[in-house]
Structure 1
């Protein structure tokens, strides 16, 4: 290895894997990602028995797809041929302004007020890969944003971006948990980061105590079939009567376990224009929600993640609340 001596300081050329890591992290920052962590792709051995047990307990409810592609879910090298590296990315969505729920008392999860994050982040991941190919050379890989069997929280922890809280979400000491996770799985050798080994939740049980449907059954273990997010989005049948009076006006998703988390006092407003609520959504009153039509639904939620429920699902959720 050549060494260049400048003013008695020896400068060693950066190894290729380290140079790749530097390029990836600078690109992430340029594209607006708040944090970027890197892990070596491989089998998540410790997660296999946990995932199997969780599925055996039917905590996935009607989300049968979570039992599909078991091997791929645990090993990204089976998902992307030749994969060597998982790049985990954090993108903030904490709102900068008062949310429209103050007017109608009907609540959406904070991430759902703006444009669907799948579109916003997928655009960035595509651009990310293009930049890497320009700066490094031919790279094979794919970008993922909650759209494939990738254990994103586990990979983010392995990449040093945070730890898994009692509510099962990834927590970051600098910004809490109001962020999206996404990944680049690529066939490039990149110097990995050190996993965060410490759990900074300590003895805090705020999220467990606050959950109105008792969905957090153990430290980091969620019975998804009892989670308000599942009940309002994933569940296609009628919401069980046992949850009457426990939904706290959530009609799409839920933020309760995040709102009470002490680490979210460090949340800062996002800088993404596409996440701002549209004007039509801001003007919906409670009666507008109760009487929402196909035309209004299509106009207000044209680019929103709320479209996942379709009009029938949203009306079911609103009716369930108002019939309490």
Structure 2
């Protein structure tokens, strides 16, 4: 199969499975991104996420992660909810965590995609699929593949869909036609920078101090939330969507069509009292399949208590 036909096959098969956008890049060492990542780590912007220091070469060179790799296929899977009630009133939950854990849902889609491709091609694909589960610079690959540009909030922005989507990759020996990167459309806008309550985004944009990000503080940080952030959490108990909520490009976001991403029936109706009085049994019932379980009951309890004591003023 010629490269153009193969690229068309990959994209159409992915669209049939519900992926919103697909871009393809050549598998090669990422030199500019390598320098940026090294500087970011040296500055300590990863906080206690020490795992980001591991497997540096694999992060910047997909051929070390998948020997023999020729291409990186980047895919976007929409998670924007039709009802965003759980993100309106404190304690708030980031929209990506409403439904079932995206790792399992999207990985299942990727496996079905590769199965269909192997059937159509008539031979096995030598490669691996990834959904935020390995040392892969997902946003950088998506940008290289023309699926969007990396905005001032450091999220991937797609001109037709905004930023409410999960990123996934197929790194393999396939050699389809590749796509071109698109230009940055952030312009002079500084809404995400101005709106961040913890000043995690640098004044010039395009750089986030992860150790100040509310998502880091409520999910990745295992110790007590530093007092310097009291009164600056804006009611977020798990994750944060502020820089997405204010981004003009998210006016193009449309509700997803993935049943697995619908919230547990009890979640939209949970008010401050239900959150404050939540028991571990309720936590297990409501968030059994959600990414919220990453923080565990004790972590979520810590976050809620921090908000109750002035963390959301």
Q: Could you say which TM-score interval applies, normalised by the shorter chain?
A: over 0.9
Once the two structures are superposed, residues 130-162 of structure 1 have per-residue CA deviations (whole angstroms, 9 ceiling, x without a partner) of 111111122111110011110011100110111
Once the two structures are superposed, residues 234-276 of structure 1 have per-residue CA deviations (whole angstroms, 9 ceiling, x without a partner) of 0000000000000011000000000000111111111111111
Mapped pair 1:315 → 2:309: no
Whole-angstrom distance in 2 between the partners of 1:219 and 1:48: 19
Mapped pair 1:44 → 2:38: no
Larger gyration radius, structure 1 or structure 2: 1
Q: Which runs of 5+ in 1 are unaligned?
A: 1-14
Mapped pair 1:105 → 2:85: no
Whole-angstrom distance in 1 between the partners of 2:86 and 2:207: 31
- Do 2:84 and 2:95's aligned partners in 1 also have CA atoms closer than 8 Å? no
Whole-angstrom distance in 1 between the partners of 2:153 and 2:86: 26
Q: CA shift at 1:49, angstroms? A: 1.1
**Partner residue in 2 for 1:128:** 113
The 5 A counterparts of 1:28-67 are 28-67=14-53
Give TM-score, length-normalised by structure 1. Answer: 0.93
Whole-angstrom distance in 1 between the partners of 2:35 and 2:201: 19
Whole-angstrom distance in 2 between the partners of 1:159 and 1:292: 44
The 5 A counterparts of 1:90-239 are 90-102=76-88, 105-136=90-121, 137-196=123-182, 198-217=183-202, 218-239=204-225
User: How many pairs are equivalent?
Assistant: 308
Q: CA shift at 1:179, angstroms? A: 0.7
Whole-angstrom distance in 2 between the partners of 1:101 and 1:36: 28
Once the two structures are superposed, residues 198-242 of structure 1 have per-residue CA deviations (whole angstroms, 9 ceiling, x without a partner) of 210000000000000000024211000000000000000000000
Q: CA shift at 1:101, angstroms? A: 4.4
Q: CA shift at 1:291, angstroms? A: 1.9
Q: Which runs of 5+ in 2 are unaligned?
A: none
Give TM-score, length-normalised by structure 2. Answer: 0.96
